[in-house]
Structure 1
Amino acid sequence: MTTVTEARRRLGRIGVWLNNAITATAPADDQRRALVRIEQLGYGSAWTGESTGGRDIFAKLGVWLAATDRLVIGSGVANMWARPGITMAAGAATLAEAYPQRFVLGVGVGFPRQAESVGRSYGRPLARMREYLDEMDTRPEAALTPAASRAETPYPRVLAAVGPKMLALAGERADGAHPYAAPVATTARARAILGPGKLVIPEQLVIYDPDPAQAREQARAYRAQSLSALQVIGGAAGSPYGRNLIRLGYTEEQVSTVDDTVIDAIIAHGDESAIAERLHEHLSAGADHVLINPVAPDLPATVDILERLAPAVLDV
């Protein structure tokens, strides 16, 4: 069985992406309790991201893996500026060996400010990622001790990718792609570029509110407070996610102001059926596994939303 085939079997169709701003500060005990609840609800995976200077993602995901029995755990993504490539590869191999078939490594190039925070130049992200993958895949001779040279437990590697060139690199050098903050059209493009033999695992931001009008108001508030401020979307020139939307046909004004058409494209908002329908759209467009990212103030509230959504979305 190939790494991709085994990952598809283990992941199932629907997983969870937990906001990094929450998992970066929530106590470890709270995270353990949350992950146990997520596993009990029946979700196939749980992921979170990483910035520079915060909690190490391999240590955090090690806590998650130890707290659960079956849940697949993924990095969405491990930031390349946080560690050298050889250290990234070693951390992933350690978790994969300790928890076979339960770990997916997502790697991403992040943002210019993250590179600058560690005294590096962001440069050309595609070239930077290619160089970093070379570093991950090249074992220095000094590391080839009898213990280090044994056959490693295989694990899937996916790249944070929304644009066609990074998606092509994901097809060339990884087991697939993990699009973030992107509409269903990006999922379809990822599948077209990657073909049937690679993983496509998109994240889907969710605002749950049975009242559609209130849900959209919350989406507008989240746009104002988080999307632009954190450059999740940002201006067309300053964000790969903004440039992606422009490639898909949105105007620079729509992207820079994050208007309602952009909100509707990147945020699934409304009741259970509306959110389930968006997940179905991703799956129909070629996603193997879709990650729900609920907007919530803290970890317990996040899992409460996941519990309310589970009967509808896990049937997708």
Structure 2
Amino acid sequence: MTTDSVTSPPARRVGVIFDRDQRPEDLAEFAAAVEELGADDLWVVEDLAWAGGISSAAIALAATRRLRVGIGIMPAPLRNPALLAMELATLARAFPGRLIAGIGHGAPEWMAQVGAAIPTKLALLEETITAVRSLLAGGTTTFDGRTVQVDAVRLVHPPAEPPPVVAGVVRPRSLELSGRAADGTVMAEGQGPRAIEAALDAIAKGRKTAAPARPHELVLFTHLCVDDDPERVTAASAPVIAEYTEFLRVPPEEVFLVAGDAATTARRIRGLWDSGADTVVLRPVGEDPLGQVRSALAALGPSDA
């Protein structure tokens, strides 16, 4: 954990997710509490029919003084790159150094529900990230891609410090795309050290054609379940394991959680850092999410900064 500037994110950051099922009116208080507990990040969620990522990030940023706020993950099919860059630039100017913006493909079934499903999702994501990053950098952007067209657009109020734009992706080709085009990668819940190693290999292929000086942050979302009772941990974890077995297309025993007593959860977080995750973002499962975060952070201690 760290309390230093978030301008150049160091390794071994820890964050917390404001779960999509929590009420938007509770976000400000939750964000302030997470900051008080000493976490580095708060991540908000944008899933279809839940809450908007930009508005949620604005609430969390306004309610805190130090936390970096991440948006995970805005679907490229729902976002015009110029408008998205305008929104992100506004937040980045008002809260410099405290925003990180995730963009992804969007869940296919959700995109189909709103008429936004397209066959060229890899091209759309890469072109959206490229155009948004160019606009945030402050220059005049002209981009004529397969799916994205921008003709001589320049932001009137670009941020002095452009926020990192990261890709929320899962499969190998998308991970390689992230290494090539984005400032970082967000890995979904359920993935542990073995998945991190495979993801880093795919990202490295993309980074061979990226600007050599550009850093690339690996952010890993992971479920958190802190309880001294193994039976309660098993009961709370069972629905998560079932969901991510299907989502990740892996056997149940390969679904990774940060679960167990406080010492065990701290050990598992350290294991994710040691495997290559720069930022581990905790998604509490079950009752008393803030209490679980408090226990996990206390078990990590200042030596893990």
TM-score by length of 2: 0.81
Q: Is residue 6 of structure 1 aligned with residue 20 of structure 2?
A: no
Whole-angstrom CA distance in 1 between matches of 2:154 and 2:123: 27
Residues 255-294 of structure 1 mapped to structure 2, 5 A cutoff:
259=252, 261-262=253-254, 265-294=255-284
2: CA distance, partners of 1:12 / 1:91: 29
Is 1:179 aligned to 2:187, yes or no?
yes
Structure 2 partner of 1:216: 234
Structure 1, residues 258-291: CA drift from partner, whole Å, max 9, x if none? x3x13xx322221111111111111111111111
Cα separation, 2, equivalents of 1:110 and 1:233 = 19
More strand by share: 2
Deviating more after overlay: 275-284 vs 205-214: 205-214
Name the amino acid aligned to 1:46: L
Q: Which 5+ residue runs of structure 1 have no aligned equivalent?
A: 246-253
1:214-238, Cα deviation, whole Å (9 max, x unpaired): 31232114445xx2xxxx542xxxx
| CA distance, structure 2, for counterparts of residue 27 and residue 302 of structure 1 | 16
Contact kept, 8 Å, 1:39 with 1:68, in 2: the verdict is yes
1:144 aligns with 2:162: no
**Equivalence for 1:38:** 34
User: Are 1:201 and 2:219 matched, yes or no?
Assistant: yes
Q: Any conservation in 2 of the 1:72–1:102 contact (CA below 8 Å)? A: yes
2:73–2:102 Cα contact (<8 Å) kept: yes
SS at structure 2 position matched to 1:100: coil
Partner amino acid, structure 2, of 1:14: V
- Counterpart Cα distance in 1 of 2:267 and 2:169: 24
Q: Could you say what secondary structure the match of 1:178 adopts?
A: strand
Q: Aligned residue for 2:209?
A: none
1:50 partnered with 2:46:
yes
In the alignment, is the contact (CA less than 8 A) between 1:49 and 1:76 conserved in 2? Answer: yes
Alignment of 1:40-79 (within 5 A): 40-79=36-75
Matched, 1:21 2:31: no
Partner of 1:303: 290
Provide, for residues 175-206 of structure 1, a one-character-per-residue CA deviation record: whole Å limited to 9, x for no partner: 11010122222222333444594111101111
- Counterpart of 1:251 in structure 2 is none
Q: Which string of whole-angstrom CA distances, capped at 9 and with x for unpartnered residues, describes residues 234-258 of structure 1?
A: 2xxxx4x22xx4xxxxxxxx3xxxx
Distance 1:266 1:81 in 2: 29
Structure 2 residue 149 is matched with structure 1 residue 159: no
| Letter of the 1:16 counterpart | V
Q: Is the 1:177–1:190 contact (alpha carbons within 8 Å) kept by the matching residues of 2?
A: no
Contact 1:14 1:313 in 2 (8 A): no
C-alpha distance in 1 between matches for 2:48 and 2:238? 28
What is the Cα deviation at residue 53 of structure 1? 4.0
Shift of 1:128: 3.1
CA deviations over 1:25-58 (Å, ceiling 9, x no partner) = x142x21111111101110000021123443211
Query: What SS class does the counterpart of residue 267 from structure 2 fall into?
Result: helix
Q: 2:18 is aligned with what amino acid?
A: L
Contact 1:85 1:135 in 2 (8 A): yes
Q: How many residues align?
A: 275
Of the structure 1 ranges 34-43 and 13-22, higher mean CA displacement relative to structure 2 is found in: 13-22
8 Å contact from structure 1 (residues 160, 179) kept in 2: yes
Partner Cα separation in structure 2 for residue 164 and residue 7 of structure 1: 27
TM-score, with length taken from structure 1: 0.78
CA distance 1:53–1:189, change in 2 (3 Å): same
Which digits, 9 at most, give the CA deviation of each residue in 1:277-311, with x for residues without a partner?
111111111111111111135xxx22122122221
Deviation of 1:143 (Å): 4.3
Alignment partners' CA distance in 2, 1:71 and 1:310: 15
SS of structure 2 residue aligned to 1:207: strand
Task: Report the CA distance shift for 1:119/1:33 in structure 2 as closer, same or farther (over 3 A).
Answer: same
- Between 1 and 2, higher relative CO (CA 8 Å, sep ≥ 6) is seen in 1
Match of 2:259, SS? strand
Preserved CA contact (<8 Å) 1:158 1:175: yes
**Separation in structure 1 between the aligned mates of residue 279 and residue 166 of structure 2, nearest angstrom:** 13
Counterpart CA distance in 2 for 1:156 and 1:282 is 22
